[in-house]
Structure 1
Amino acid sequence: MSMQEKSEIISRLSKNMKEYRSKQKITQEELSFRSGLHRNYISDTERGTRNISLEALEKIAKGLEVEVEDLFKRQ
């Protein structure tokens, strides 16, 4: 996987995560509570500065009440 492909995946995840959170009108703090992850972790992920684990990805999806694959779909 090239760096550009990796950047596109991270960018898509970050964008979708923020969109789902905004649609639900919840803060990063609320998503942090729902997912059991630190607010800084949520913030870093939304900014695309963190390479997250699959476990964290699953927790975020559950916190947003979406499927993991929804976080990677082009919208």
Structure 2
Amino acid sequence: MDKEEIQKLNLAFGENLRKIRDSKKISLLQLSYNCFIDESKISKIEHGRFNIKLSTLFELAKGLDVSPEKLLGFPFDQEE
């Protein structure tokens, strides 16, 4: 995966995260409290400016009360 593909993946993940958070009517601040991740870091993730670790994915899922699979359930076409 090259740098451009990683950026597209981060953007797609961030959009999905924000969509789920908005649908649950949870603010960035509330999600930050729920999962012990700094509010500014969550914002960076939602804007595709941060490449998260697997442990962060699980913390976000826990904070949103969803399965990690739901956070990963977004369309992404990886170029070959």
What are the superposed Cα offsets for residues 3-47 of structure 1, whole Å, 9 maximum, x if unpaired? 333123211210110001100111000000001111111111111
Structure 2 unmatched runs, 5+: 76-80
Question: What is the CA distance between 1:68 and its match in structure 2?
Answer: 1.4
What CA distance in whole angstroms lies between the structure 2 residues aligned with 1:67 and 1:36? Answer: 17
- The percent of aligned pairs where both chains have the same amino acid is 31
If you compute each CA radius of gyration, which structure gives the higher value, 1 or 2?
2
**TM-score scaled by length of structure 2:** 0.83
Determine if contact 2:12/2:48 at 8 Å carries over to the other structure: no
Q: Aligned pairs, how many?
A: 75
Corresponding position: 1:73 with 2:70:
no
Q: CA RMSD in A?
A: 1.4
Structure 1 unmatched runs, 5+: none
